[in-house]
Chain A
Amino acid sequence: MRFRDFFKPVLMLILILVFLFPFLYGLLISFKPLSYIRMPVLDFSFKRVFSLDGFTLDKYAKVLLSSDFPRYVLNTSIVFVLTSVIVIPLSFFCGYTLARYRTAFHGYFRMLLYAVMMIPVLPALFTLYKWISMLGLYDTHLGLALLYSVGSIPFSAFLLENTIKAIPPEVEQQARVDGCGTIGRMLRIVLPLSAPGIGAVAITLLVSVWNEVFTAIIFTANRAKTVQVGLADFVARGYTDYSAQAAALVVASLPMIVLIIIGYKQLIRAMTGGLKGH
Chain B
Amino acid sequence: MKLGKSSFNTPLLFILPTLFVIVGFWIAPAVTSVYLSLTDPNNNFVGLDNYIKALTDVYFQRSITASLLYMGGNVAISVLIALIMSFLMNNVRGEQYVAATWFLPWMFSTVMAGLMFSWLFNPSFGLINAILLKLGIIDMPILWLSSYPEAMITIIIAGVWGACAFGSLVILSGLKSIPNEIINSAKLEVPHFLSMFRHIYFPWIKGQVILFATLQTIWTLQEYGLPLALTSGGPGGRTAFIFYYVYKEGFLSMKFNLAAAQGFISVLFISLFIIVYTKVVKPTEIYSR
Give complex CA distance A31, B107 in Å: 22
Give complex CA distance A131, B228 in Å: 25
Residue of A nearest to B266 (CB): A122
A97 surroundings in chain B (CB, below 8 A): 11, 14-15
By size class, the interface of chain B is 35 or more
Within the complex, the shortest CB–CB distance from B73 to chain A, in Å, comes to: 17
User: Are B285 and A274 in contact (CB-based, < 8 A)?
Assistant: yes
Q: Identify A149's interface contact among B21, B92, B169, CB under 8 A.
A: B21
- B152 at interface by CB-CB < 8 Å: no
Residue of A nearest to B88 (CB): A12
User: Are A100 and B264 in contact (CB-based, < 8 A)?
Assistant: no
User: Are B267 and A41 in contact (CB-based, < 8 A)?
Assistant: no
Within the complex, the shortest CB–CB distance from B140 to chain A, in Å, comes to: 10
- A64 at interface by CB-CB < 8 Å: no
B7 surroundings in chain A (CB, below 8 A): 101-103
Task: Tell me the dominant secondary structure on chain B's binding face.
Answer: helix
Give complex CA distance A94, B15 in Å: 5
User: Are B116 and A231 in contact (CB-based, < 8 A)?
Assistant: no
Size of the chain A interface, CB-CB below 8 angstroms: 105
User: Are B104 and A20 in contact (CB-based, < 8 A)?
Assistant: yes
Q: Identify A213's interface contact among B107, B123, B228, B285, CB under 8 A.
A: B228
Which stretch (B59-67, B129-137, B178-186, B197-205) binds chain A?
B129-137
A173 surroundings in chain B (CB, below 8 A): 3
- B10 at interface by CB-CB < 8 Å: yes
B26 surroundings in chain A (CB, below 8 A): 116, 121, 124, 150
User: Are B288 and A123 in contact (CB-based, < 8 A)?
Assistant: no
- B58 at interface by CB-CB < 8 Å: no
Give complex CA distance A199, B127 in Å: 41
A275 surroundings in chain B (CB, below 8 A): 285-287
User: Are B98 and A29 in contact (CB-based, < 8 A)?
Assistant: no
User: Are B112 and A126 in contact (CB-based, < 8 A)?
Assistant: no
B98 surroundings in chain A (CB, below 8 A): 12, 16
User: Are A123 and B267 in contact (CB-based, < 8 A)?
Assistant: yes
A42 surroundings in chain B (CB, below 8 A): 133, 141
User: Are B130 and A150 in contact (CB-based, < 8 A)?
Assistant: no
Give complex CA distance A256, B105 in Å: 10
Give complex CA distance A267, B270 in Å: 28
Question: Which of B8, B104, B246 has the most C-beta atoms of chain A within 10 angstroms of its own C-beta?
Answer: B104
User: Are B283 and A114 in contact (CB-based, < 8 A)?
Assistant: yes
B274 surroundings in chain A (CB, below 8 A): 118-119
Give complex CA distance A143, B135 in Å: 52
Which stretch (A51-59, A66-74, A151-159) binds chain B?
A151-159
- B12 at interface by CB-CB < 8 Å: yes
Question: Which of A172, A185, A207 has the most C-beta atoms of chain B within 10 angstroms of its own C-beta?
Answer: A207
User: Are B108 and A211 in contact (CB-based, < 8 A)?
Assistant: yes
Give complex CA distance A18, B118 in Å: 16
Residue of A nearest to B117 (CB): A22
Using a CB-CB cutoff of 8 Å, which residues 149-206 of chain A contact chain B?
149-150, 153, 155, 157-158, 169, 172-173, 176, 182, 185, 204
Give complex CA distance A125, B249 in Å: 13
User: Are B88 and A119 in contact (CB-based, < 8 A)?
Assistant: no
Within the complex, the shortest CB–CB distance from A58 to chain B, in Å, comes to: 18
Give complex CA distance A210, B225 in Å: 14
Within the complex, the shortest CB–CB distance from B124 to chain A, in Å, comes to: 6
Q: Identify A112's interface contact among B22, B81, B119, CB under 8 A.
A: B22
Within the complex, the shortest CB–CB distance from A221 to chain B, in Å, comes to: 11
Residue of A nearest to B168 (CB): A15
Residue of A nearest to B102 (CB): A16
Using a CB-CB cutoff of 8 Å, which residues 71-127 of chain B contact chain A?
81, 84-85, 88-89, 92, 96, 98-105, 107-120, 123-127
B243 surroundings in chain A (CB, below 8 A): 120, 122, 214
Q: Identify B169's interface contact among A109, A268, A276, CB under 8 A.
A: A268
With contacts A16-B102, A127-B32, A150-B21 taken as known, whether A207 is within 8 angstroms of B107 at the C-beta atoms is: yes
Give complex CA distance A16, B120 in Å: 18
Within the complex, the shortest CB–CB distance from A268 to chain B, in Å, comes to: 7
B173 surroundings in chain A (CB, below 8 A): 272, 278
Give complex CA distance A211, B115 in Å: 14
With contacts A182-B10, A249-B115 taken as known, whether A259 is within 8 angstroms of B107 at the C-beta atoms is: yes
User: Are A127 and B130 in contact (CB-based, < 8 A)?
Assistant: no
Give complex CA distance A254, B83 in Å: 29
- A265 at interface by CB-CB < 8 Å: yes
User: Are A25 and B164 in contact (CB-based, < 8 A)?
Assistant: no
Question: Closest 3 interchain pairs by CB?
Answer: A274-B286, A123-B263, A44-B130
8 cross-chain CB contacts under 8 A: A16-B102, A20-B101, A101-B7, A123-B267, A125-B263, A126-B256, A127-B32, A169-B3
Other than the given A101-B2, A118-B218, A122-B266, 6 more pairs (CB < 8 A) read A22-B105, A29-B119, A102-B7, A104-B8, A124-B32, A236-B228
Q: State the B residues within 8 Å of A (CB).
A: 1-4, 7-8, 10-12, 14-15, 17-18, 21-22, 25-26, 28-30, 32-34, 36-37, 81, 84-85, 88-89, 92, 96, 98-105, 107-120, 123-127, 129-130, 133-134, 141, 161, 164-166, 169-170, 173, 177, 218, 222, 224-225, 228-230, 232, 243, 246-247, 250-251, 256, 259-260, 263-264, 266-267, 270-271, 274, 277-278, 283-289
